Amino acid sequence: MTTQLLDSPTQQRVDQWLSGSYDADSKAAIQKLIDEGNTTELTDAFYRDLEFGTGGLRGVLGVGSNRMNRYTVGAATQGLSNYINAAFPGQDISVAIAHDSRRMSPEFARIVADIFTANGIKVYLFSSLRPTPELSFAIRQLGCQSGIVVTASHNPPEYNGYKVYWNDGGQVVSPHADNIIAEVNKITSVDAIKFEGVPERIQLIDEEIDAPYVERLKSNAVNPDVIRRQADLNIVYTPIHGTGITLVPRTLEALGFTNVHIVEQQATPDGNFPTVKSPNPEERAAMQLALDLANELNADLVMATDPDADRVGAGARNHHGEFELLNGNQMASLIIYYLLNAWKDAGKLTGKEFVAKTIVTTDLIDRMCERYGVKCYNTLTGFKYIAEVIRELEGKEQFIAGGEESYGYLIGDFVRDKDAIASCAMIAELTASAKDRGLSLFDLLMAMYQENGFYYESLVSLTKKGKTGAEEIQQMMADFRANPPKEIAGSPVVRVDDYKALTRLDAKTGQSTVMKSGSMGIESSNVLQFFTADGTKVSARPSGTEPKIKFYVSVVEPLESKDAFDATYTQLKAKVQRVIDDLKLS
């Protein structure tokens, strides 16, 4: 416990909550912290207002302006309501609302619904938990102007969050995001929030959206004959106590897969996530129960979705017969590799097709797209920017698929956010396709590397909590800008991209050029990228949704044969470690 005094802005927020029209329990919780002299917790809870980041509003549950509670959720919704009403004057406005299995998610969803209706807006509210991508689909299906999903994605149990969507089904981007923030910031008093809802303006939805969504997911299949031949593909799936249980098994069954096994210990939705430390399929521990069952059943494929079912982790047996989890770069690449080949074989590549990914996602995808004559657009981190590219190019170019390294993928454009339901279906299909040719999913991975180069990526994520942590992260970025590395792991840095200044520096000539900004997913953002002569790429980016700074390291070598996989893999891992040591990231 620290004895430091609160700074003036923090103290003002504390005083506002103690004197304002907040409930007695909230005031009592604040007073308890004051009586205990717990200025650390008070500072973290009140040093700022929750802000929209790459994923919207997200924070720890509890009292305070920097916490997720009925008042921060209420202020965001009131500001959003004001903006929507101003943006669509004279129209019959509607929004769709969904929520995941987290603590307070159903309650927050109802609070959000009440505030919208109090502001004259019709609400389509899912009657129970549903995946985030289905919310995106519902907005488009119902012709809504906006939508909300209450979720904190894969964060630990103490978090919740709030994602805002626009009428195209994608998360809000500029100028709407900036305008919404401005409206939210105008809500300076809790008394400005209209909490008293109008129940008659709420319409519950479920099967009328579920059924058409599943039908559209079925239309993504590029080779139904393969699925029929491999209907007994042995699949293990876990929703990790989240929303995936509502639609992943149903979709796999609708496609024709008959041998799907659910991890029963994790099948029941539970915001405490009792079987895992963190419900994140990026972490092996979260998938351990699924892996255990997969080994027991000699499964071909194991898949796990995060609580709101927009991300999916997957694994298959490697060439040593052991289950190996594929990372987000590998799975995004495999999905796009499979689809590019399928579109080519079907004669569907006309030169007007495109793929979209984020700037920190593997460049293997760029290389494959170039080989197939398909455009690959790179955006800032956040799937909302991929959705923006799809919207910008609608009617001009045909979207095939998109992905990001953080286990989020999208196939087709009827959803405008990463979709773990669609991804599970496609991963099952491409695994069935490989098996139909006597190959495993891992064999397909190695074949892709042989054709295009063995790209290996690693993520270093440093957690820096609270106000001091945020300041430390900003200082790290400032230091990298002031003193960029001239050499990384023995290879000279040849290019530096600064997305904050929107400049690209040629390190050989010293010449700096300005990046094109504005639409298509590129705007000023606190990201730095370093490129070396041997193809190594390092990206530095403070997270927009978590108290972390992330370093994405990518290296590449040719893969001469499948027999050379292990030796090349070892070489690449050693090279990544040299990069980490050189930049002092550990």
Sign of CA dihedral 248, 253, 258, 264: positive
pLDDT tens profile 76-126: 999 999 999 999 999 999 999 999 999 999 999 999 999 999 999 999 999
Say if residue 544's pLDDT is above 90.
Answer: no
Say if residue 3's pLDDT is above 50.
Answer: no
Integer Cα distance of 63 and 225 in angstroms:
55
- Structural domains of the chain ordered from first start: 48-204 (3.40.120.10), 213-452 (3.40.120.10), 455-583 (3.30.310)
Residue 357: count of CB within 10 angstroms of its CB? 29
Sign of CA dihedral 123, 417, 389, 80: positive
pLDDT at 320: 94
Structure confidence at residue 519 as a pLDDT band (50, 70, 90): low
pLDDT at 2: 39
pLDDT at 247: 98
Q: Among candidates 303, 560, 510, 570, which has minimal Cα distance to 426?
A: 303
Q: Which strands, in side-by-side order, build the sheet including 94-99?
A: 57-60, 159-166, 146-150, 94-99, 122-126, 202-205
pLDDT tens profile 388-415: 999 999 999 999 999 999 999 999 999 9
Residues 6+ apart with CB under 8 A from 163: 55, 56, 57, 132, 148, 149, 151, 171
pLDDT tens profile 438-452: 999 999 999 999 999
Q: Which residues are identified as catalytic?
A: 153
Say if residue 298's pLDDT is above 60.
Answer: yes
Helix (H) or strand (E) holding 532: strand 528-532
Per cent of the chain over pLDDT 70 is 97
Please give the structure tokens belonging to residue 445. 């991975």
pLDDT at 467: 79
pLDDT tens profile 245-293: 999 999 999 999 999 999 999 999 999 999 999 999 999 999 999 999 9
Q: At residue 454, what is the residue type?
A: F
Instruction: State mean pLDDT over 526-541.
Output: 96
Residues 6+ apart with CB under 8 A from 450: 559, 560, 561, 562
Please give the structure tokens belonging to residue 340. 């590019």
Integer Cα distance of 500 and 306 in angstroms:
31
pLDDT at 568: 98
pLDDT at 543: 81
Average pLDDT, the chain: 94
546-552-553 Cα angle (round to 5): 160
pLDDT at 560: 96
Say if residue 355's pLDDT is above 70.
Answer: yes
**Where is average pLDDT lowest: 259-263, 490-494, 512-516, 525-529?**
512-516
pTM over 0.85: yes
Which phi and psi (to 5°) does residue 405 adopt? -65, -20
Residues 6+ apart with CB under 8 A from 362: 329, 332, 333, 405, 455, 457, 554
Per cent of the chain over pLDDT 90 is 87
Say if residue 205's pLDDT is above 60.
Answer: yes
Please give the structure tokens belonging to residue 318. 């490697």
pLDDT at 178: 86
Instruction: State mean pLDDT over 561-585.
Output: 96
Helix (H) or strand (E) holding 502: none
Half-sphere exposure of 574 (CA within 13 A, CB side): 8
pLDDT at 1: 35
Half-sphere exposure of 535 (CA within 13 A, CB side): 15
Integer Cα distance of 457 and 441 in angstroms:
19
Integer Cα distance of 245 and 241 in angstroms:
8
Partners of 586 in the beta sheet? none
Instruction: State mean pLDDT over 469-480.
Output: 91
Integer Cα distance of 167 and 334 in angstroms:
31
